[in-house]
Structure 1
Amino acid sequence: MYLTQGLHRAVQQQPDEVMTICGDRRRTFAEVADRVSRFAGALRELGVGESDRVAILAQNSDRYIEYLLAVPWAGAVLNPANTRWSPTEIAYSLIDSDSRVLLVDDAFAETLPVLRELSPCLTTVIHIGDGPAPVDALSYEDLIAAAQPVPDVRRGGAELAGLFYTGGTTGVPKGVMLSHDNLGTSWLGGRASGSLVAQGGRTLHVAPLFHIACLTSWGATLMAGGSHVILPSFDPVTTMTAVQAQQVTDVLLVPTMIQLLVDHPRVAEYDLTSLRSLLYGASPIHKAVLERAMAALPGARFVQAYGMTELAPIATLLTPADHERGLLHSAGRAAPHAEVRIVDPGGVEVQRGTVGEIAVRGGHVMLGYWGKAEETSQALRDGWMHTGDGGYLDGEGYLYIVDRIKDMIVSGGENVYSVEVENALSQHPAVAQCAVIGVPDAKWGERVHAVVVLRSGASVTADELREQAKKFIAGYKAPRSVEFVDTLPISGAGKVLKRVLRATHWGSVDRQVS
């Protein structure tokens, strides 16, 4: 299996069908294939060899999709940079991966002087924006116009396809090595479930393409011969406008995006009935938000995917039928390509209903972490990827996520899982968003602490929220303290950065558990 396989098949079967829609630009499969082969030729002329890493720092665009195809076409390795990172963090990923070529668009052109200074490995910058190319940067369109097309090397299988750096929510970023087979297995497994994108549909890419979840939506659509509608970034109004104007059938949204969309005051003004499938994942979603989304988009089939970058990324799927059964707290069952089990600290499988660490096995499991043998051996043991997530399986094999294991709060000797508390608090009509963490407490060791964002114009007291939580969970799990903030810190992947929230409470304490 190789990443460009879907493009070759589409050119053979539907060359004149529209493949990409980005602003006013529409390109057919045949046109995209020609541009991809030419850009691959340009990369070769620039000295990019087999297995060399080629990075990109850009918002979503049709040129970003061409990059995803041209780099493997040339036999090189993808390295999509996180657009939410600081220049120092981006430079770290460039240096760590020894990426010598970087594609950059207009939104990030201003960062080039700093990146060049911080990244001595960087020798070539290619501008993929619509404006003039920055000084010392090559024009993407000029390269394509001048280059000769080259044959696809069709490098695939177990060969390295890309380095995908983790979001940094748990420490120093690690380059996750994913092969062509890793990615293709996850895409095909998702499609085999019948829950991902439909054949010949039209998928909207509004989540960042550097993120493995959006890349999966792209890959599954490519294999299904579908079209790609691309927006630079997420905004509720532009997203709804694109769905209506382009008759989008499939979309991937992270939970924070879903909430912003369905709670938008103008949501009723748009015709969103073309949506057939809404895939969500990347972070937990609260039941109250999901119920509002299902009510606002009654024609869409909801699918939840649980996984991680190291799993390319799908491990389990909660299908539309599962949603109709009301299993909204579950992350679903093992996808067709995956095997899932719950293990104790020694790696031994535990009984059903017992909380432990989620371990996953299959052809989608990463090759390892780039240049980090010790971390790789800790994560990959006996063929199983140990996720660091805590959960349990019920009698039917449905997975329930209770927390990141590191996020478990031990208060007065009792284990408290933050997702339970967050779900309870989110039921209150005044709560827009919330995150629960453990903070140091002289009496209890740790206490349950809630950080809450209120809806516009709403008000509620800490005591009222505590009583709200007690309606749904045991009293000892209810937050003993509440902090009201305007916004929560969010990573580029749409996850709440709990380490940032913890830092304000733990200060110089050596460890963030008691």
Structure 2
Amino acid sequence: MNLASLLLRSAQRSPDAPAIRHGEALYADYAGFWDRTSRLAVGLRRELGLQPGDRVALAMKNSPAYLEVLFACWTAGLAAVPMNAKLHPKEFHYMVEHSGARALFASKALAVELAFLDDEVESLEQIVDCDSPGYEALFAEEGMPPHPTADDDLAWLFYTSGTTGRPKGAMLSHGNLLTMTLCYFIDVDAAAPEDTLLHAAPMSHGSGLYCFPIVAAGGCQMIAASGQFEPEEIFDILEATPNLCFFAAPTMVTRLTQAAPEREVRRENLKTVVYGGGPMYVADLKKAMARFGPAFVQIYGQGESPMTITSLTRADHKATGHPRYEQRLASAGQAQSAVEVMIADEEDNPLPAGEVGEILCRGRSVMLGYWDNPEATAETLRGGWLHTGDMGTLDGEGYLTLKDRSKDVIISGGSNIYPREVEEVLLRAPGVAEVSVIGVPHPDWGEEVAAFVTLEPGAAVTAKELDVLCLSEIARFKRPKSYRFLEALPKNNYGKILKTELRRLWKEESGA
């Protein structure tokens, strides 16, 4: 089933219902949303010459056009490649080239910044500025129905941050995303036509993925006028918008809680806050619930099984009388309805309740594999299970508690940063001998990047020079916020760098 059929169904059922708002202004009802989507799909096929199965890259900030391009891709039988608008041009370059995208849709500023890709990426034939007359020209002809699509046809190429220096493209099919959508209704929230989903987090990730259940229910998508997360703006929206829902990283929830005492908050208008993408401390969660009420649901997922591994339900958050209430709040909940979850040892044997091992899952939400990377696909999906790389335990009632992240991912402001990617950049600096990167606590963002560096004999390298190098190669939010120069990095007998020792050293030096 083509995901665009969800939009067509709601347009047929409720054509006059509000579908997209930009701030408080109505951008399109469902009839208009479908009309523009289907017309753009024809423009993609006829004007740009794209064929079913082709990839279309999106380098866009949150906007109504984002939804139009996304659903138009599927209507035309194309695969979307959404990319974080905060990435570095070199990172955009890699994803566009690796995916073999034939077209790139970009916000105005990004269209200018990425114009060089037209000459440097062989597959790329067209860059479309979504704020230009050229974009509107693509809507000239009558629309088309959704292209016939099989469940395993590629819908969304989701680039995960790379543990080996390069991101991998998780191939998400129409069937994967439909499974995720149905799990939302069963395990996360009962989406309804009266709901408004606010996009305050990037639509290239969790917030955008959750547009499907709202479209299926005939609810409204609201793009924050600022295009980003602004607590004061959210409070203003909450003041005037009943049944408001949104996805947020735990750090965003904490920032809202910290800002809330300065405002009168219409908590009765807040229906659901889905939080995920990183750990949230129980104390912070309790403060948020005390301020905003019983609106919270947690999800645990990965790009390889989007938003769909476990969930901690609204009922779990409200069950204050349960004897294990604290432990449950500290967990990531139970397996979602279409997913099996197992804790396994290093040989992939199942472990009993309470023992720590790698988190494995399987089900119709799990990706088809990694784009153009059969080796990584075989390793990650061996035995028919998705190997998440995360460590955790299951209790006797099936509640999953995350322990360590075996891939050493750093989660800052809800965005994943993998140390190897940063380390490889720093190692390009002349005079740098060894580097190790870790995540250290940050009061607002959850974690920030800290780098430990050793130099070659006689070399003189400054933190400022390393910072300039990082800014030239990777996104600003990934660069280290602090550097420590050591004579040698701590290692075990096998020569492996001991990151636990680096964390201890950081705590001692910072007084944390």
TM-score by length of 2: 0.78
> Is 2:278 the counterpart of 1:280?
no
Partner of 2:232: 237
Q: Helix, strand or coil for the counterpart of 1:349? A: coil
> Is 2:446 the counterpart of 1:451?
no
Shift of 1:167: 2.9
Whether the 8 Å CA contact 1:59–1:107 is kept in 2: the answer is no
Residue 210 and residue 504 in structure 1: after superposition, are their counterparts in 2 closer, same or farther (change >3 A)? farther
> Is 2:264 the counterpart of 1:269?
yes
Shift of 1:61: 1.1
Residues 74-473 of structure 1 correspond to what in structure 2 (within 5 A)? 74-129=76-131, 133=132, 139-144=134-139, 146-168=140-162, 171-193=165-187, 195=189, 197-211=191-205, 213-231=206-224, 232-264=227-259, 267-298=262-293, 300-325=294-319, 326=325, 327-407=328-408, 451-453=440-442
In the alignment, residue 78 of structure 2 is paired with which amino acid?
A
In the alignment, residue 280 of structure 1 is paired with which amino acid?
Y
> Is 2:2 the counterpart of 1:2?
yes
Cα deviation code 1:124-151 (max 9, x no counterpart): 111112xxx3xxxx6211221x223222
> Is 2:74 the counterpart of 1:72?
yes
> Is 2:28 the counterpart of 1:27?
yes
Whether the 8 Å CA contact 1:164–1:309 is kept in 2: the answer is yes
Taking the aligned partners of 2:385 and 2:102, their CA distance within structure 1 comes to 33
Shift of 1:177: 0.2
Count of matched residue pairs: 433
Cα deviation code 1:184-242 (max 9, x no counterpart): 1011012122535345411111111111x213321121122211111211111122222
Whether the 8 Å CA contact 2:2–2:146 is kept in 1: the answer is no
Shift of 1:254: 0.8
Taking the aligned partners of 1:170 and 1:329, their CA distance within structure 2 comes to 30
Whether the 8 Å CA contact 2:305–2:367 is kept in 1: the answer is yes
In the alignment, residue 308 of structure 1 is paired with which amino acid?
Q
Taking the aligned partners of 1:357 and 1:502, their CA distance within structure 2 comes to 31
Taking the aligned partners of 2:439 and 2:90, their CA distance within structure 1 comes to 31
Shift of 1:283: 1.0
> Is 2:506 the counterpart of 1:513?
no
Residue 169 and residue 233 in structure 1: after superposition, are their counterparts in 2 closer, same or farther (change >3 A)? farther
Q: Helix, strand or coil for the counterpart of 1:163? A: strand
Residue 196 and residue 263 in structure 1: after superposition, are their counterparts in 2 closer, same or farther (change >3 A)? farther
Q: Helix, strand or coil for the counterpart of 2:148? A: coil
Percent sequence identity over aligned pairs: 36
Taking the aligned partners of 1:505 and 1:271, their CA distance within structure 2 comes to 49
Shift of 1:57: 0.7
Taking the aligned partners of 2:3 and 2:488, their CA distance within structure 1 comes to 46
Taking the aligned partners of 1:379 and 1:346, their CA distance within structure 2 comes to 13
Cα deviation code 1:417-444 (max 9, x no counterpart): x99xx9xxxxxxxxxxxx9x9xxxxxxx
In the alignment, residue 344 of structure 1 is paired with which amino acid?
D
Taking the aligned partners of 2:39 and 2:123, their CA distance within structure 1 comes to 25
Residue 25 and residue 337 in structure 1: after superposition, are their counterparts in 2 closer, same or farther (change >3 A)? same
Shift of 1:81: 1.3
Residue 170 and residue 202 in structure 1: after superposition, are their counterparts in 2 closer, same or farther (change >3 A)? farther
Q: Helix, strand or coil for the counterpart of 1:347? A: coil
Shift of 1:268: 2.4
Residue 230 and residue 393 in structure 1: after superposition, are their counterparts in 2 closer, same or farther (change >3 A)? same
Cα deviation code 1:70-110 (max 9, x no counterpart): 00100111111121210000010000001120111124233
Shift of 1:42: 0.4
Taking the aligned partners of 1:321 and 1:34, their CA distance within structure 2 comes to 39
- Give the unaligned 5+ runs of structure 1: 409-417, 423-434, 438-446, 456-488
In the alignment, residue 203 of structure 2 is paired with which amino acid?
L
In the alignment, residue 289 of structure 1 is paired with which amino acid?
D
Taking the aligned partners of 1:505 and 1:197, their CA distance within structure 2 comes to 52
Shift of 1:123: 1.4
Cα deviation code 1:487-514 (max 9, x no counterpart): xx9xxxx9x96x9579857899685437
Residue 51 and residue 341 in structure 1: after superposition, are their counterparts in 2 closer, same or farther (change >3 A)? same
Residue 454 and residue 225 in structure 1: after superposition, are their counterparts in 2 closer, same or farther (change >3 A)? closer
Residue 164 and residue 454 in structure 1: after superposition, are their counterparts in 2 closer, same or farther (change >3 A)? closer
In the alignment, residue 12 of structure 2 is paired with which amino acid?
Q
Whether the 8 Å CA contact 2:193–2:219 is kept in 1: the answer is yes
Whether the 8 Å CA contact 2:203–2:209 is kept in 1: the answer is no
Shift of 1:407: 3.5
Taking the aligned partners of 1:234 and 1:306, their CA distance within structure 2 comes to 21
Cα deviation code 1:271-316 (max 9, x no counterpart): 2421111100011111222111111101x42100001010023100
The worse-fitting range, judged by mean Cα deviation, of 387-396 and 255-264 is: 255-264
In the alignment, residue 280 of structure 2 is paired with which amino acid?
I
Q: Helix, strand or coil for the counterpart of 1:279? A: strand
Shift of 1:373: 0.5
Residue 113 and residue 7 in structure 1: after superposition, are their counterparts in 2 closer, same or farther (change >3 A)? closer
Taking the aligned partners of 1:448 and 1:142, their CA distance within structure 2 comes to 47
In the alignment, residue 15 of structure 2 is paired with which amino acid?
P
Taking the aligned partners of 1:41 and 1:105, their CA distance within structure 2 comes to 21
Q: Helix, strand or coil for the counterpart of 1:152? A: coil
Q: Helix, strand or coil for the counterpart of 1:59? A: coil
Whether the 8 Å CA contact 2:111–2:128 is kept in 1: the answer is no
Shift of 1:383: 1.1
Shift of 1:8: 1.7
Taking the aligned partners of 1:448 and 1:47, their CA distance within structure 2 comes to 45
> Is 2:1 the counterpart of 1:12?
no
- Give the unaligned 5+ runs of structure 2: 320-324, 420-435, 445-469, 490-494, 500-512
Taking the aligned partners of 1:76 and 1:105, their CA distance within structure 2 comes to 20
Taking the aligned partners of 1:449 and 1:40, their CA distance within structure 2 comes to 44
